[in-house]
Amino acid sequence: MKFSVNNTVKCGPRLGLLKEIEKHPNMSLETPMAMLYTRGGSIPHITNEVFKLVSHESQIIQIPLVSTYNFEDAMNDFQGDIADFVGMKECISCVTVQDPADYTQPGHHFQNCIPLWTRQGKVLINAKLYMNSIEAFKPDMYYLLSDSDTNIASSVKRTSNAVSNTISYFKECMERHEKSKVLKNSFVMGTIAGGYCFKSRKDCIDAVCSNDIVGGYLIDGLHNNGPEVELQKAEELKPIVKYVIEKLPQEKLRAIHGCWNPVTVLELVQLGIDLFDTSYCYILTERSCALTFSLDVEDKNDQYELNLRQQQYADDFQPILSGCTCLTCSKYSRGYIHHLVTVQELLGPLLLTIHNVHHYLKFFEKIRECIRNGTLSQLQEKITSQFNAYQEIITKKQTLVNVSKLKENNKDSDVSNQTPRTDNSSITEEDATEDSDAFDNDIIKETQNDTRTTVMETINKTEVKSIS
């Protein structure tokens, strides 16, 4: 497999092409793109046959080892590769280590092995065990093992240890890769560890970028995965990502994984990231939400996302998104999907997945078109304004939920004549009540199921312990 780019600017949006894929000689894939997130080898909630109704384009399937680790024995006896094993042999397979949609518990790393939190419990793997799995899976591409247990709150000692562990894994994995016959056509992605420490990142780049066999790089160790990544601020990421990109060889593929929201994706595309994943669609579907942000800068639609659990959609007979050509929008109404998700029918998340993945892949198509036309900034402005407006509504609703809880507590403790402040907001009960006409009690109840925490809140709650 080979990767080429159109842009010689070190840090800026670029179009790339993955081609000369050994198992798929007639296939080529344009970047920036998103790999299809899978769990246990399949896209959550839908089968491969259903996915063929979502998109006819060539795709890369992301195979996190954490959810496929127990495939190894079967794969050793199986004649084909991992894409064939999971029934998606028309796709390119990419084995990654952790699951971007699942929070990875920090603090369980050792000097020569990392933890995988599999369904069977914690499994410690070292470079040798990792490469055993990779050789059994025979993927078209894979990420090298790394110590990614860092985030914005990690200490310098932790980031430094993460880098020395990653360099050691890199050497061992590459030695095995170069000797391996079954992996001679696999595209290797080196991993750049080091959290938010510039010096650690530089040390890792200096060691990992010396090998020409590596076809691309994953900028790893920015977070501990999971839904919290959605709300991590792009401003926190940009300085370190820009620093790494400027030091990486510019002709090589650059990847970042995680459930980034579209605004952050656009910021990362502006810096020159080529490869993402669709785990964001999964976390949206899990909270019964559908993407509706606009891909047309002239569009008057200002709704970023719909929460189909809300009572207001019970008798709404429009499709999720007017003009969307997906199977869900062409056949089903918001009202019917509202019914399915409230009674927990399996068809609910299935229909939401079809729409969300379809819309997210269209989003990347639009990104490529805008880079070609030089209109990426206009798209970014449009989606950012929709996203920010939606976040304001969510925050306001959350404040009302807090106020509503406060009122109940006050009733119980007979202190209702006081005007206390909410836990994490400077808005008083009176301030918020003035705006409460716009929201009915149903919305408040539903928002209690839609509570989100920021990545910083999560990090603050988690004591990061360094064992190494």
Could you give the 3-state DSSP secondary structure of residue 37? strand
Residue 355 labelled as part of a binding site: yes
When asked if residue 329 is in the footprint of Zn ion (CB under 5 A), the reply is: yes
- For Zn ion, give the closer residue by CB, 329 or 371: 329
Minimum CB separation of residue 292 from Zn ion in Å reads: 9
Sign of CA dihedral 219, 172, 5, 257: negative
- Residue 54 CA to residue 274 CA, distance in Å, equals 22
- Residue 407 CA to residue 87 CA, distance in Å, equals 54
Could you give the 3-state DSSP secondary structure of residue 162? helix
- For Zn ion, give the closer residue by CB, 173 or 329: 329
- For Zn ion, give the closer residue by CB, 189 or 329: 329
- For Zn ion, give the closer residue by CB, 268 or 326: 326
- For Zn ion, give the closer residue by CB, 57 or 392: 57
Contact window for Zn ion (CB under 5 A) among 242-250, 316-324, 390-398, 410-418: 316-324
Contact window for Zn ion (CB under 5 A) among 219-227, 244-252, 280-288, 324-332: 324-332
Contact window for Zn ion (CB under 5 A) among 9-17, 318-326, 424-432, 437-445: 318-326
- For Zn ion, give the closer residue by CB, 331 or 372: 331
Contact between residue 271 and residue 238 where contact means Cβ atoms under 8 Å apart: yes
Minimum CB separation of residue 324 from Zn ion in Å reads: 3
- Residue 296 CA to residue 321 CA, distance in Å, equals 13
Contact between residue 43 and residue 353 where contact means Cβ atoms under 8 Å apart: yes
Residue 324 labelled as part of a binding site: yes
- Alpha-helix runs per DSSP H in 344-375: 347-373
When asked if residue 158 is in the footprint of Zn ion (CB under 5 A), the reply is: no
Phi, psi for residue 263 in degrees, rounded to 5: -65, -45
Residue 329 labelled as part of a binding site: yes
Minimum CB separation of residue 276 from Zn ion in Å reads: 20
Q: Is the peptide bond before 13 cis (omega within 30 degrees of 0)?
A: no
The residue behind tokens 């029918």 is 345
Measure the N-to-C terminal CA separation of the chain; round to a whole number of Å: 36
Contact between residue 221 and residue 194 where contact means Cβ atoms under 8 Å apart: yes
Which listed residue (14, 138, 257, 355) binds Zn ion by CB under 5 A?
355
Minimum CB separation of residue 257 from Zn ion in Å reads: 25
When asked if residue 326 is in the footprint of Zn ion (CB under 5 A), the reply is: yes
What binding mask, one character per residue, do residues 12-51 give for Zn ion by CB under 5 A, x or -? ----------------------------------------
- Residue 328 CA to residue 334 CA, distance in Å, equals 10
Minimum CB separation of residue 423 from Zn ion in Å reads: 37
Residue 209 labelled as part of a binding site: no
When asked if residue 324 is in the footprint of Zn ion (CB under 5 A), the reply is: yes
Closest residue by Cα to residue 68 from 42, 106, 103, 47? 42
Annotated binding site for Zn(2+): 324, 326, 329, 355
Q: Which residues bind Zn ion (CB under 5 A)?
A: 324, 326, 328-329, 355
Annotated binding site: 324, 326, 329, 355
